[in-house]
Amino acid sequence: MAKTRASVAAPAKQRINEQIRCAQVRVIGAEGDQLGILTVDAALELAREAGLDLVEVAPTEKPPVCRIMDFGKYKYQQKKRQHRTHTHQTKVKEIRVRPKTGKHDVEVRINRAREFLTHKDKVLVTVMFRGRELAHITEGQKVLDGIIEQLADIAKVEAPPLKHGKRIMCTLAPK
């Protein structure tokens, strides 16, 4: 019998309240104290009195272990914990300018690069030349130097400016 993708990836669902189908369970109170082995009905009654849920935490034990807790809060904390363990994959984002790009447009691109750097991504700054602009490479170099200077507070130059054909490129990494 072949397993489907869903059956392999899905974790075991925790049973709560009326979903618990055992005769007796070991119960742990809301404060973490052992209440002993009780019938499911008695454990459910204790949980209802406390305004909480009865959650099966160790279904393989004999008898199964259940805890009195707020299940919604528990699920929220699990999700939060899982989110905290997620690591950020560094990406390389690119901003492109030309030697004749206007001052305001360059500022917009610098602000965008600043956002990328604060999100721990690298930024590839590219100055592109077309036609007769290749005769004035120093203009493009000035634009690139201005961008590097304005981002110096949050970025360091990882790869210095290099000319590749009709482009000058420089990589900036977050400090």
Considering the domain architecture, whether residues 80 and 21 belong to the same structural domain is answered as yes
DSSP notation for 15-82: PBGGG---SEEEEE-TTS-EEEEEEHHHHHHHHHHHT-EEEEEETTSSSPEEEEE-HHHHHHHHHHHH
**Domain boundary residue among 35, 57, 84?**
84
Under-70 pLDDT residues of the chain: 1-12
**Domain boundary residue among 37, 58, 84?**
84
CATH number at residue 167: 3.30.110.10
Number of domains in the chain: 2
pTM of the complete model beyond 0.85: no
Give pLDDT, residue 31. 85
The whole-angstrom separation of Cα 169 and Cα 165 is 10
Give pLDDT, residue 61. 85
pLDDT tens for residues 34-60? 888 888 888 888 888 888 988 888 888
Range of the domain at 128: 92-174
